[in-house]
């Protein structure tokens, strides 16, 4: 029998526009990615014992709390009028004991439920992070900005709240409502019938006021998000720099002031709606007991009711109101909770990872020669009509430099990604010393293949931390040797804090060329056998390019190097040059051979930076 899937229920639609939009989004999410209860239950399978304890504590606390009205009735009807000291002491002690016991059970229940929720979310959060790390670059290219972080942090965080707060709250409310209703009938079935008439309209009125406040609160949160976004964008390093360059500081201040002004209005409306809700509930809490007192005093409805019975019933009736309200929102909580699980499971089910064999081949670093071969390689991006690479046969001799040139979109960077195994070919194979990259342990492969790209990514930390990322525990001497080789040791040593200088967000403490040289130093510390240089100097000025190019020459010396170049002046010293056009190799040879052949390379050479330098 197939495993059942649960979509959104049809009942319980919220009344506010904001809630309806949220509900539609959650329903659409569940329609696209249904969630099975069995899968959710599997997350809690290792915690069955804790679940049983938590449920038992909830039921026990609810049942013990219901003893209180019966003690109160006995005190009022018998112990107090009869001046029975023993009964008074027993009743008073019972009330105190119940309060202490239910409070203690509540603390234990919260502790156990929170610990279980945290452990479940820790496992889910860790699994999701590990799974996402295995995904291909294409997965992150297609993902919307911030969506990955949102699902990993916000969705998983909200799921923890669902597990520890919402689930226990629903269980507690349900138990309380059932037990309280039974106790109310046991104390007075006549007053129970009156409550059935009075409670529904009272609850409906309170719910409408609550929905009104929820809609206003949703708008206030949206406006607060706008305000926060303005702060993050306009007061970041890049945002301030852009605003000053574009002359938009006054406009930004005006937009901020307008958003802040709207927030004042929404905050006032939210607070007033909250007061209306409290006022409504206060009226209801006054009206319902008044009706009950009236019924208890009329001969037709009193049925010989005692004062103790009336007080006990009134206490029970007041206690049932809030859990009933809580249960009325279960349908919304249910759909929202399932939608959270759906969004997280959707990412856990993403299958764009680079597969790791069950028994991968292990590389002995000292024995790696660094010979790379591509045989009949084809690669097509998802959704693309034509392949980016097709029929690629290319050998990168160990210790030699091979340059790849071609027009934009010819497949140069894709070729480099395949060699670094950031993606796998759709057909053909890429081998290192005869081993197919798909058969190797990913950690071993990463230790022998280094990449320096046009975009140098630096962590928000110190220079030392950025370098040690490539070689944890590297000695001071080794770090300075790498900086020296990257032509940046003198600059770092001149800084007051030296290696402990903070690089800033995305490396903004340093210029583009300095960031690039730090990235080169980081790769030098890695000491790779194979090196991929992906247009590492294309965005630099001539002077900075010269410094970086010298560092790259030192880095590539004696290593198998694939040099992907836009500026043809950087490839003159390559032993072999390959020309790509529309994903195919159309020409290869030395610089001089290709320049004299009057073929595709010669046409690329005309009007290039190299031709301009030669003519000048």
Q: What is the pLDDT of residues 565-606, one digit of tens each?
A: 776 767 877 889 999 988 899 999 888 888 888 888 888 877
Let me know whether 349 and 393 are in one domain.
no
Let me know whether 342 and 478 are in one domain.
no
Distance, CA of 189 to CA of 60 (rounded, Å): 25
Distance, CA of 110 to CA of 105 (rounded, Å): 8
Let me know whether 28 and 80 are in one domain.
yes
Residue 471 lies in a domain: yes
Distance, CA of 327 to CA of 365 (rounded, Å): 62
Distance, CA of 162 to CA of 172 (rounded, Å): 14
Q: Judge contact between 519 and 452, C-beta under 8 A.
A: yes
Let me know whether 584 and 474 are in one domain.
yes
Q: Could you tell me the CA-to-CA distances from 189 to 184, 192, 286, 586 in Å, in that order?
A: 7, 5, 21, 93
Q: What is the pLDDT of residues 507-532, one digit of tens each?
A: 677 887 788 888 888 888 888 889 88
Let me know whether 462 and 557 are in one domain.
yes
Let me know whether 46 and 137 are in one domain.
yes
Q: Judge contact between 131 and 346, C-beta under 8 A.
A: no
Let me know whether 130 and 163 are in one domain.
yes
Residue 42 lies in a domain: yes
* CATH code of the domain in which 116 resides: 1.20.1560.10
**23: Cβ contacts below 8 Å, ≥ 6 apart:** 8, 13, 14, 332, 335
Q: What is the pLDDT of residues 309-320, one digit of tens each?
A: 888 888 787 777
Let me know whether 386 and 525 are in one domain.
yes
Distance, CA of 375 to CA of 395 (rounded, Å): 9
**476: Cβ contacts below 8 Å, ≥ 6 apart:** none
Residue 302 lies in a domain: no
Q: Judge contact between 391 and 333, C-beta under 8 A.
A: no
Distance, CA of 423 to CA of 111 (rounded, Å): 45
Tokens of 129: 């992070």
Q: Judge contact between 273 and 241, C-beta under 8 A.
A: no
Q: Judge contact between 407 and 333, C-beta under 8 A.
A: no
Q: Per-residue pLDDT for 373 more than 90?
A: yes
Between CA 342 and CA 280, with CA 162 as vertex, the angle to 5 degrees is 120
Q: Which residue has the higher pLDDT, 74 or 334?
A: 74
Q: Judge contact between 403 and 578, C-beta under 8 A.
A: yes
Q: What is the pLDDT of residues 375-390, one digit of tens each?
A: 999 998 877 788 999 9
Which residue shows structure tokens 């479940």? Answer: 120
Q: Considering only CA atoms, which of 530, 554, 356 is closest in space to residue 448?
A: 530
Tell me the pLDDT of the chain averaged across its residues.
Answer: 78
- If you ran DSSP here, which 8-state letter would residue 363 be given? P
State how beta strands 372-379 and 389-396 pair.
antiparallel
Q: Per-residue pLDDT for 104 more than 60?
A: yes
Residue 79 lies in a domain: yes
Q: Considering only CA atoms, which of 132, 537, 582, 180 is closest in space to residue 390?
A: 582
Total domain count for the chain? 2
Structural Rg of the chain based on CA atoms: 35
What pTM value is reported for the model?
A: 0.61
Domain enclosing residue 78, as ranges? 19-187+329-353
Residue 280 lies in a domain: no
Tokens of 615: 């003519």
Distance, CA of 348 to CA of 140 (rounded, Å): 14
**330: Cβ contacts below 8 Å, ≥ 6 apart:** 12, 170
Q: What is the pLDDT of residues 8-59, one digit of tens each?
A: 333 333 344 455 556 666 677 777 778 777 888 888 888 888 888 988 998 8
Q: What is the pLDDT of residues 187-222, one digit of tens each?
A: 887 787 777 766 676 666 666 666 666 666 667 766
Q: Considering only CA atoms, which of 301, 281, 304 is closest in space to residue 291?
A: 301
Tokens of 102: 């239910």
**Angle separating helix axes 249-297 and 237-246, nearest 10 degrees:** 120
Tokens of 98: 């119940």
Share of the chain above pLDDT 90, in %: 8
Residue 307 lies in a domain: no
* CATH code of the domain in which 382 resides: 3.40.50.300
Q: Which whole number is the average pLDDT over 149-173?
A: 75
**113: Cβ contacts below 8 Å, ≥ 6 apart:** 50, 54, 163, 164, 167, 168
Let me know whether 64 and 175 are in one domain.
yes
Q: Could you tell me the CA-to-CA distances from 554 to 371, 549, 551, 576, 604 in Å, in that order?
A: 20, 9, 5, 18, 27
Q: Which residue has the higher pLDDT, 530 or 3?
A: 530
Distance, CA of 255 to CA of 230 (rounded, Å): 8
Q: Judge contact between 610 and 549, C-beta under 8 A.
A: no
State how beta strands 584-589 and 576-581 pair.
antiparallel
Which residue shows structure tokens 């009711």? Answer: 305
Q: Judge contact between 479 and 518, C-beta under 8 A.
A: no
Q: Judge contact between 431 and 395, C-beta under 8 A.
A: no
Let me know whether 82 and 127 are in one domain.
yes
Residue 310 lies in a domain: no
Let me know whether 428 and 511 are in one domain.
yes
Let me know whether 132 and 79 are in one domain.
yes
Q: Judge contact between 377 and 550, C-beta under 8 A.
A: no
Q: What is the pLDDT of residues 276-309, one digit of tens each?
A: 666 666 676 667 777 777 777 777 666 667 888 8
Residue 579 lies in a domain: yes
Distance, CA of 207 to CA of 284 (rounded, Å): 12
Query: Of 353, 388, 406, at which residue does a domain stop?
Result: 353
């Amino acid at each position: 029998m197939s495993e059942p899937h649960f979509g959104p229920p049809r009942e319980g639609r919220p009344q506010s526009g904001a809630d309806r939009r949220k509900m539609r989004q959650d329903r659409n999410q569940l329609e696209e990615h249904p969630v099975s209860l069995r899968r959710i239950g599997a997350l809690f399978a290792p915690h069955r014992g804790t679940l049983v304890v938590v449920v038992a504590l909830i039921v026990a606390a609810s049942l013990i709390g219901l003893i209180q009205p019966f003690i109160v009735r006995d005190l009022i009807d018998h112990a107090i009028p009869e001046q029975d000291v023993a009964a008074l002491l027993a009743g008073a002690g019972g009330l105190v004991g119940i309060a202490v016991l239910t409070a203690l059970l509540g603390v234990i229940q919260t502790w156990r439920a929170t610990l279980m929720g945290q452990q479940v979310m820790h496992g889910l959060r860790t699994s999701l992070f590990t799974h996402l790390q295995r995904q291909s670059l294409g997965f992150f290219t297609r993902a919307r900005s911030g969506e990955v972080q949102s699902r990993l942090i916000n969705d998983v965080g909200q799921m923890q709240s669902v597990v520890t707060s919402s689930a226990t709250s629903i269980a507690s409310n349900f138990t309380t409502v059932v037990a309280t209703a039974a106790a109310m009938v046991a104390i007075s079935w006549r007053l129970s019938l009156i409550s059935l008439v009075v409670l529904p309209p009272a609850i409906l009125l309170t719910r409408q006021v609550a929905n009104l406040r929820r809609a206003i609160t949703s708008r206030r949160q949206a406006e607060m998000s706008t305000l926060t976004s303005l702060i993050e964008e306009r007061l970041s390093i890049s945002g301030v720099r852009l605003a000053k360059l574009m002359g938009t500081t006054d406009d930004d201040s005006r937009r901020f002031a307008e958003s802040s002004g709207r927030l004042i209005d929404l905050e006032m409306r939210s607070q007033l709606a909250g007061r209306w809700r409290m006022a409504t509930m206060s009226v209801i809490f006054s009206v319902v007991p008044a009706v009950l007192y009236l019924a208890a005093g009329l001969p037709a409805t009193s049925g010989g009711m005692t004062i103790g019975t009336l007080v006990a019933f009134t206490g029970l009736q007041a206690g049932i109101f809030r859990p009933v309200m809580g249960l009325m929102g279960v349908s919304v909580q249910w759909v929202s909770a399932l939608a959270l699980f759906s969004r997280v499971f959707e990412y856990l089910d993403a299958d764009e990872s680079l597969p790791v064999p069950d028994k991968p081949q292990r590389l002995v670093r000292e024995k790696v020669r660094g010979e790379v071969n591509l045989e009949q390689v084809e690669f097509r991006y998802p959704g693309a009509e034509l392949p980016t690479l097709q029929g690629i046969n290319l050998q990168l001799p160990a210790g030699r430099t091979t340059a790849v040139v071609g027009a934009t979109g010819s497949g140069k960077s894709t070729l480099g990604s395949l060699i670094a195994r950031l993606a796998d070919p759709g057909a053909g194979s890429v081998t290192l010393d005869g081993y197919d990259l798909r058969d190797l342990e990913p950690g071993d492969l990463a230790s022998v293949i280094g990449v320096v790209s046009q975009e140098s990514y630096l962590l928000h930390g110190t220079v030392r931390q950025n370098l040690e990322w490539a070689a944890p525990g590297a000695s001071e001497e080794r770090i300075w040797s790498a900086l020296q080789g990257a032509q940046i040791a003198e600059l770092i040593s001149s800084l007051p804090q030296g290696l402990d200088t903070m690089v800033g967000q995305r490396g903004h403490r340093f210029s583009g060329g300095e960031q690039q040289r730090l990235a080169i130093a980081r790769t030098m510390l890695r000491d790779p056998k194979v090196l991929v240089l992906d247009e590492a100097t294309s965005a630099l000025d001539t002077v900075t390019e010269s410094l970086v190019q010298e560092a790259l020459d030192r880095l590539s010396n004696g290593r198998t190097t694939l040099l992907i170049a836009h500026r043809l002046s950087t490839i003159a010293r390559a032993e072999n040059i390959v020309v790509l056009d529309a994903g195919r190799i159309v020409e290869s040879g030395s610089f001089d051979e290709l320049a004299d052949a009057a073929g595709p390379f010669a046409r690329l050479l005309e009007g290039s930076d190299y031709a301009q330098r030669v003519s000048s």
